[in-house]
Structure formats: C-alpha cells, structure tokens
Amino acid sequence: MATSSVSAAVLSSSFHGSWGTSIAGEDYSTMLAKSSVAPPWVKVGKPLRYGPMMGNVNEGKGLFAPLVVVTRNIVGKKRFNQLRGKAIALHSQVINEFCKTIGADTKQKQGLIRLAKKNGEKLGFLA
C-alpha cells in the first residue's frame, strides 16, 4: 500500500500552466505582448533577394574545362564565343539530322539538345 501512495505523489505535479510558462510564471504569449521587439528568430522586413549571377558557374569544372579556359585566354573572349557558337550550331544540326534519320518528334529532339547541353556542362565545354 505504501508503494501506491508514493507513486501517486510522484505523478502529481505543481506545474500549472502551458508549456510556454517561464520561470517567472508568465506564459509565452504574454511575454510577446509585453515585448515591443520581435524575438531574434522572427524575421522582420523584406526577404533577401539575390540578383542574377554574373560569370560562369561552370568555371574550372569538368574534364575539358582547363583546355577551354586556356584556349579562351589565348584566342580572346569575343573570338572564342564566336567559335563556340558555331560549334554549338553544328552540333545542333547533327542532332537534328540524327532525329530525322530515326524519326524522332520535336519533343524528343529538344530533349536530346538539352541532354547535349547538360553533358557539355559536365564535361567542361561550357567553362
């Protein structure tokens, strides 16, 4: 019998309030109402906006990136971009001819061109 009265005493608590009750006895909503300053975890003001990224995010990545960077530095940016544009146009023509040969529709052709761009980024051709 003594055990049951002890366990009953342990289960009862002098805690009277919400989970937000502070040591002083105020609950969280009362403290916020009194405070004129927002707590540090509450964001106040405009959200941060990041502007457009300038430069190439692929710089230095991929197997061919060092070769591309050296070639661009030797030839010059303007001439290099012209040559790159011609190479991309030729590659797109090859993809178009391939799609005609296998009878692929426009959606499949666009998917292949996107895949070529993604692979070019991974390999470093767009560095």
User: Mean per-residue pLDDT for 79-88?
Assistant: 92
% of the chain with per-residue pLDDT over 70: 53
Give residue 85's pLDDT.
Answer: 92
Reduced to 3 states (helix: H, G, I; strand: E, B; else coil), residue 44 is coil
Give residue 62's pLDDT.
Answer: 86
Least confident of 9-13, 56-60, 113-117: 9-13
Give residue 7's pLDDT.
Answer: 47
pLDDT of residue 80 exceeding 70:
yes
3-state SS of 65-88 is HHHHHHHHHHHCHHHHHHHHHHHH
* Nearby residues of 37 by Cβ (< 8 Å), 6 or more positions away: none
The closest of 87, 90, 91 to 75, measured between CA atoms, is: 87
Give residue 61's pLDDT.
Answer: 80
How many angstroms separate the CA atoms of 19 and 15, rounded? 10
Q: Are 63 and 121 in contact (CB under 8 A)?
A: no
pLDDT of residue 35 exceeding 90:
no
